[in-house]
Amino acid sequence: MESIEEHLSEHGVKPTAVRILVWKEIINHTETFTLVDIQEWMPQLDRSSIFRALRLFTEHHLLHEIDDGSGLQKYCVCRCENESHLNHIHFTCLQCGHTYCLVQYKIPLVEMPEGFEMEDAEYVVKGICPKCHNKR
Ligand SMILES: [Zn+2]
Ligand SMILES: [Zn+2]
Ligand SMILES: [Zn+2]
C-alpha cells in the first residue's frame, strides 16, 4: 500500500505536515464533510490552513466538491476507480440536512451537443434518508 506522502505527491500535492494531518483525518470519513466539521475534528489546526489544504486537494482531484444547496460547501474524498473522475450521486436529506455519498451510483453519462465538452457534473438527489424515515 502506498503511503499518504506518496498518494499526495502522485496527485501533484506537496505533502506538508498540515496536508498530511488533514488527509489522515478526512480519509476516515466515508460521507461528506464541511470545513466546519474538520475544524471540530482537528481544533489544533487553524481554519485558513485547513481551507487551503481543501482547495488544493480539490484542484488536484483528491476531493470532490458538492453544492447541495445548503450554502455550505461540502467535500468528499475521491475514491474514483477510473481516470474520468466523474462523481457519484449524492443524496441530501431534507429533514436532517445530511448529505450522503452514494458511491455505488455513478452520475449517468449524458450526451452533449456538438461542441460542448463535459468535464464535471454534479448530481444531488433530495429526499428523506433512511434514518429520518424510520423516525416518522
Ligand atoms: Zn473522483
Ligand atoms: Zn435524514
Ligand atoms: Zn461523495
CB of 64 closer than 8 Å to CB of 76: yes
Give the least confident one: 3-17, 42-56, 79-93: 79-93
Distance 97 CA to ligand 1 centre (A): 23
Which residue type occupies 29? Answer: H
Distance 63 CA to ligand 1 centre (A): 7
3-class secondary-structure state, position 92: strand
Q: Are strands 63-66 and 33-34 parallel, antiparallel or unpaired?
A: unpaired
**What are 84-135's pLDDT values in tens digits?**
777 799 999 999 999 999 988 988 888 999 999 888 788 999 999 999 998 8
What is the spatial distance between Cα 33 and Cα 103, in angstroms, rounded to a whole number? Answer: 15
Q: Global pTM?
A: 0.85
Q: For residue 88, what are the domain limits? A: 4-135
The bound ligand whose nearest atom lies closest to the alpha carbon of 102 is: 3
φ, ψ at 92 (rounded to 5°): -105, 125
pLDDT at 12 over 90: yes
Neighbours of 74 (CB within 10 A): 22
What is the spatial distance between Cα 93 and Cα 116, in angstroms, rounded to a whole number? Answer: 32
Distance 89 CA to ligand 3 centre (A): 7
Distance 86 CA to ligand 1 centre (A): 6
Q: Which residues have their alpha-adjacent CB atom under 5 A from ion ligand 3?
A: 76, 101
Domain count, the chain: 1
Instruction: Find the CATH number of the domain harbouring 80.
Output: 1.10.10.10
Distance 80 CA to ligand 1 centre (A): 4
Distance 118 CA to ligand 1 centre (A): 15
Nearest to 101 by CA among 117, 84, 124: 124
**What are 57-95's pLDDT values in tens digits?**
999 999 999 999 888 999 999 988 777 777 799 999 999
Distance 76 CA to ligand 1 centre (A): 9
